[in-house]
Amino acid sequence: MDRIAIRDLAARCIVGINDDERREKQDVVIGIVVHADLRRAAKTDAFDDTVDYRAIKKRVLSLVEASSFRLLEALAEAIGRACLEFRGVEQVEVPGALRFARSVAVEITRRKEAP
């Protein structure tokens, strides 16, 4: 599988378990790696043959900015599920949904389930 990486996507959301973390949005830095077969797009140079990573970025930003999670694991899971809804995406990794980029990180990998 080929990979498209979206790195250091900055957003603000409510995340955490402490009262002070639940009151105000915090900065999070998100990484996303989507796996898809990009051979056709590479041959045709046609937008319709690739994964719309701009739309993925917008969807993730919208989701995160409107969200309220207690755990980074839940935030990463929601991001992963949203990415798997896009045409052509077979697997997604969220290698960073982290607060203050140099602190704790949660990494998940999810695959699209067979129908």
Q: pTM for this structure?
A: 0.87
* CA–CA separation, 52 and 55 (whole Å): 5
Q: How many domains does the chain have?
A: 1
pLDDT for residue 95: 81
Splitting the chain (115 residues) into consecutive groups of 10 residues, what average pLDDT does each group show? 91 92 90 93 95 97 96 93 96 77 63 79
Residue 49, domain extent: 2-111
CA distance 27 to 38: 32
CATH code for the domain in which residue 93 is found: 3.30.1130.10
